[in-house]
């Protein structure tokens, strides 16, 4: 398994994000049909297994000292192998190296596996923030890496 950075214009990353949007749409509640646009201020990572891009995730700067985890996705055939957990660690390491020791994230109430993953990775529930305020399907989490990095 290899984890590497990709640019916002990478076609393999775009294909993963389209697959994620389709799956979210099929999940139902709260999943919108909005197409996710790639952003230049986001640091994207992909996971490669047997020369195939099978997972992605990203972090985006928020206010000073904080970042948001975004676009976590593992292709269904590759789930249950610990890929998402390793990807979270890689994203946390990048954010910490960029002086962003606080990580936040949003996920949907209709994604219990994602909620369980984030909780097991040390993320704790926080009030809904930013663009997610008012979305009845949003749940938000936070983790301070400063305490765990020493």
Distance CA 33, CA 22 (A): 8
- Name the average pLDDT for the chain: 89
For the segment 5-16, the average pLDDT, to the nearest whole number, is 92
Token pair in block for residue 29: 């509640």
How confident is the model over 45-94, as pLDDT tens digits? Answer: 999 999 999 999 999 999 999 999 999 999 999 999 999 999 999 999 99
Query: How large is the angle between the packed helices 112-120 and 83-97, nearest 10 degrees?
Result: 60
In this prediction, residue 31 carries a pLDDT of 47
Token pair in block for residue 37: 């646009």
More confident residue, 41 or 93: 93
For the segment 141-147, the average pLDDT, to the nearest whole number, is 88
In this prediction, residue 149 carries a pLDDT of 45
| 6: enclosing H helix or E strand | strand 2-6
pTM (predicted TM-score): 0.88
Task: Of 7, 112, 103, give the one whose Cα is nearest residue 56.
Answer: 7
Task: Of 111, 55, 108, give the one whose Cα is nearest residue 85.
Answer: 55
Q: β-pairing, 66-74 with 2-6?
A: unpaired
- Pair 49, 83: CB distance under 8 Å: yes
In this prediction, residue 40 carries a pLDDT of 66
Distance CA 129, CA 146 (A): 21
- Pair 91, 58: CB distance under 8 Å: yes
Domain parsing of the chain, residue ranges: 2-144
More confident residue, 86 or 29: 86
Distance CA 145, CA 150 (A): 9
CA count, 13 A, side-chain hemisphere, 102:
9
Fold topology of 2-144: Aminopeptidase (3.40.630)
């Amino acid at each position: 398994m290899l984890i590497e950075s990709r640019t916002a214009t990478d076609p393999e990353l775009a294909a993963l994000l389209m697959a994620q949007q389709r799956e979210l749409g099929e999940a139902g509640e709260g999943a919108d049909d909005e197409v996710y646009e790639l952003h230049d201020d986001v640091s994207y990572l992909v996971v490669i297994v047997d020369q195939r891009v099978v997972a992605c995730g990203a972090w985006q700067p928020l206010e000073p000292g904080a970042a948001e985890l975004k676009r976590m996705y593992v292709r269904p055939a590759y789930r249950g192998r610990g890929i998402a957990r390793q990807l979270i660690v890689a994203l946390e390491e990048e954010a910490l190296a960029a002086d962003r020791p606080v990580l936040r994230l949003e996920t949907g109430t209709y994604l219990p596996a994602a909620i369980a993953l984030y909780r097991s990775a040390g993320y704790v529930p926080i009030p809904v923030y930013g663009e997610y305020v008012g979305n009845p399907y949003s749940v938000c989490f936070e983790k301070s890496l400063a305490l765990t990095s020493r």
